[in-house]
Structure 1
Amino acid sequence: MPHPMPHPTPLARRMYDLTEPISLVNFFSPEPNEAMAELGLRGYWDGYFAGRAAPLGRAPAAVVHAAFYNFADGEVARHIPRVWDITTPEAAHAARQRGCEAALRHILGDLAETPGLVRAADLLTVAAAGAPTEGRVMYAALRALPVPEEPVARLWHAANTLREHRGDGHIAALLSDGIGGTECHVLGALDAGVHPAESFGRIHHLPPARLAQVMDGLRDRGLLDAAGRFTDAGRATKDRIEALTDALAEPPYECLTTSEVEELLAALEPLSARLRETGSSSEAV
């Protein structure tokens, strides 16, 4: 019996494309923001740092900054540990999960009650618990939390856990090529067609002198040209980082059989399509 032809796109990249819209309701839907505001947190970024850092407990700003990697100096410290004077990590995580479940239910509508979603949640949960935690700080922190029983909440929790697993690997890939936190936003912006890269939403607010320093450093390394676009070396660096990120994101799916992988891909397709149709995701955070 002939073996199926290998897919041209790595499995981890296919899974990322399908699960990222599930994770991103946290950043682009109102329900999670409202849930965090109910705790007394002020503004989007208080909620972001409290919710995402909650699995780390009351870790100091320096530790959260290291784990998140791509925030400029001082950005984390404007929120951590101040948010823990307002709420607790446990309450912040619960609110984030509650808000994301509500957002998914709102967007998915009838799909939220289908056997396909339950099966996607089951298989994605197996994958999310199936990789080693060594060297994966954010992933290990989420693995230490209880897994929700309700299928929609479980789907979000698994997708978010896999997102942080991939993020931990992405940081390792960036470090292997000597790309810093702000630099990675520049490369990501150019890869997404944003030019000038300094206008990218995650860095446009930084002091002009800091942005100029980053851009000049990338030019000095031969990664950007005078116009602030990729050189061949810069394009190759970005591609190499993404390829290593994909390779490091494969382990969670190795615990699934081939038929389970295909079943999971098929179950995720309509969910991801519905989320993308609504514009629930636009710029990764």
Structure 2
Amino acid sequence: MSEFTEAIGTVTFSEVPNEGFLAVGMRNYWDGYFAGRAAPLGLAPAEVVHAVFYNFAEGEVARHIPWVWEKVTPEEAIAIRERGSAAALRQLIGEELAESAGLVRAAELATRAAVSAPIEGRVLYAGLRALDVPVEPVAKLWHAATLLREHRGDGHNIALVAHGIGGTEAHVLMALALGMRAEEFSRIHHLPKAQLSGVVDGLRKRGLVTTEGGFTEAGRELKDRVEALTDELAAPAYDVLTATELDELITLLQPIATALHTADY
């Protein structure tokens, strides 16, 4: 399910929603990213958004929050994000899938799961839960996927905190899992070399990274524990569905995810 919700939810970060934010005065992609994703938190200061988003380097959020609120209100940002994301999803999967009875049913089942998950400790998910669920099926499916994605993301942050892994450290471990050096990973390659080296050295001193810059056995085991706990914390969202309904949802989402994975965006 996380693969499906990730595929659907991340259409938010594609060109159509980005164009919607640029049209109202955002300077670049990241202005729109922070405005749209942080909007359910209201006019929260940069420090709060930084804490909730967890893995951005110090100062990155503050370059956008609260500046974006001079151009758009959180309520307007929520509407721009939903409208653009639904349009992008429809465009990427094609009209046949977008108008299918299967998508309508998938949106119904996914929404039941998305609005039933526990909110304790899930700040961003709780903010999204407070929003109205769209009526139009494509928008409804995107909204449900986003709820489930952010619920899982909040749980992932909990797992990282529980295992003593900071935001930049998490990106370093992700880079290693992808078989690349930390300085090659797109989310952190722009950081000052000394800062990034300090993070890697800290992981090395903890016995998680080798001198060559790869995983130690302990490092790989820790990452596996974090991922397992993330799965465990995400699972209750689907308790509202019967096993048959969950199987049906997976079957219905498969062609949608396949279309998204093969789309050029």
Matches within 5 A, 1:266-285: 266-280=251-265
Q: Using the alignment, how far apart are the partners of 1:85 and 1:61 within structure 2?
A: 14
Q: Quick check: 1:192 aligned with 2:182?
A: no
- The amino acid that maps onto 1:205 is H
1:83 is aligned to: 68
Q: Please, which of 147, 160, 177 is the counterpart of residue 161 of structure 1? A: 147
Residue 68 (structure 1) aligned with residue 48 (structure 2): no
Distance in structure 2 (CA, Å) of the matches to 1:160 and 1:22: 8
User: What percentage of aligned pairs have identical amino acids?
Assistant: 62
Q: Match for residue 254 of structure 1?
A: 239
In structure 2, how many angstroms separate the alpha carbons of the residues matched to 1:273 and 1:83?
34
Aligned-residue offset at 1:279: 4.5
Measured in 1, the distance between the counterparts of 2:202 and 2:44 equals: 31
Paired residue type of 1:144: A
Give the Å deviation of 1:120: 0.6
What's 2:212 paired with? Answer: 227
- Count of paired positions: 264
Choose which of 82, 96, 99 in structure 1 pairs with 2:84.
99
Matches of 2:37 and 2:79, distance apart in 1: 11
C-alpha distance in structure 2 between counterparts of 1:124 and 1:65, whole Å:
29
* Superposed CA RMSD: 0.8
For residues 69 and 120 of structure 1, the distance between their equivalents in structure 2, rounded to whole angstroms, comes to 30
Query: Alpha-carbon deviation of 1:196?
Result: 1.1
So what's the TM-score if we normalise by structure 2?
A: 0.98
Q: Which runs of 4+ in 1 moved over 6 A?
A: none
Which residue of structure 2 aligns with residue 115 of structure 1? Answer: 101
SS in 1 for 2:132: coil
Q: Provide the C-alpha distance between the structure 2 equivalents of 1:279 and 1:209, rounded to a whole number of angstroms.
A: 36
Supply the distance in 1 between the matched residues of 2:142 and 2:229 (Cα, whole angstroms). Answer: 25
Aligned equivalent of 1:56, options 14, 23, 41: 41
2:121 alignment partner, SS class: coil
Q: What CA distance in whole angstroms lies between the structure 1 residues aligned with 2:214 and 2:241?
A: 40
Q: What's the TM-score once normalised by structure 1's chain length?
A: 0.91
Task: Give the Cα–Cα distance (whole angstroms) in 2 for the partners of residues 258 and 22 of structure 1.
Answer: 22
- Residue identity matched to 1:150: E
Q: Which amino acid aligns with 1:86?
A: K
Partner Cα separation in structure 2 for residue 144 and residue 259 of structure 1: 29
- Matched residues in 1 for 2:75 and 2:178: separation? 35
Match of 2:228 in 1: 243
